Amino acid sequence: MKHALIGSGEYLPPMAAVDRALLDRLGSTPRVVCLPTAAATEGAAVIERWTSMGETHFRSLGVAAQSVRVVDRVSAADPAHVGAIAAANFVYLSGGKPDFLYTTLVDTPVWTAIEALLANGGLLAGCSAGAMVQGDAFFGFPGKKSGFGLLPGVTVVPHFDEIPGAMISGVRLMLGRSLTLVGVDGNTALLRDGDRLEIIGRGGVTIWNDAGKKRYTAGPLPAGLLPPFS
């Protein structure tokens, strides 16, 4: 299973080298689908902006890209959207509201197609809200929210280099210290490929669990930092 957690900066110039590296990890010709789902509550103009930015960004990297407008649970069952994801090998979830993203996709044909893509060697990349929903749980309003559990025993905190330390401590306390906190800086990706972890980008990733709190920078990470797959 290949999936990437990105702290912030989707589709902007500083992310070009990061996304190029993620595309290179596919091992086959990239076929990219971008989902603006997390921002769908912000209106048609915002959806259009994310759609245009995603397609322009990936095409500037020399790969085919298509935005799929999954904006509610009805569109998450649209056979055309499911077919577009089935034909892809790279799905990108951009930022917005993580709770809306999760409740829109969970137990839908679109999410089933994303799971099939992962099982077949494709890559799921999520930025900000798109990263948060990949863990077991995330901080929401109010309280603790469920994620998809692609990283068992993990909670993901994006924008980690922008958040005051006291707030991070409060999030960890509220979510429970049994979860490993993974904090991802902006313009940075944590790639998990099976049991292998790699940081790509100019920032860092902070791992905080019962063994302590440590920040890592670009390159492969030691084994055993995150809970194993169940």
Q: Is 78 exposed, middle or buried (0-12, 13-18, 19+ CB in 10 A)?
A: middle
CB 36 within 8 A of CB 67: yes
Between the alpha carbon of residue 30 and those of residues 22, 125, 169, the distances in Å are 10, 13, 39
Determine the 3-state secondary structure of 84 from DSSP.
helix
Each residue's pLDDT tens digit, 71-118: 999 999 999 999 999 999 999 999 999 999 999 999 999 999 999 999
Residue 140's pLDDT band, with cuts at 50, 70 and 90, is: confident
Q: Is the pLDDT of residue 148 over 80?
A: yes
Domain boundary assignment for the chain:
2-220
pLDDT at 176: 87
- Tell me, what amino acid is at 168? I
Fold of the domain built from segment(s) 2-220: Rossmann fold (3.40.50)
Q: What is residue 28's DSSP assignment? A: S
Integer Cα distance of 151 and 170 in angstroms: 21
Integer Cα distance of 217 and 161 in angstroms: 13
Integer Cα distance of 165 and 156 in angstroms: 15
- Which of 36, 97, 89 lies closest to 67 in space, CA to CA? 36
pLDDT at 230: 56
Q: Please give the biggest Cα pair distance in the chain.
A: 46
For 65, phi then psi, to 5°, come to -145, 140
pTM above 0.85, yes or no: yes
Residue 141's pLDDT band, with cuts at 50, 70 and 90, is: confident
pLDDT at 177: 86
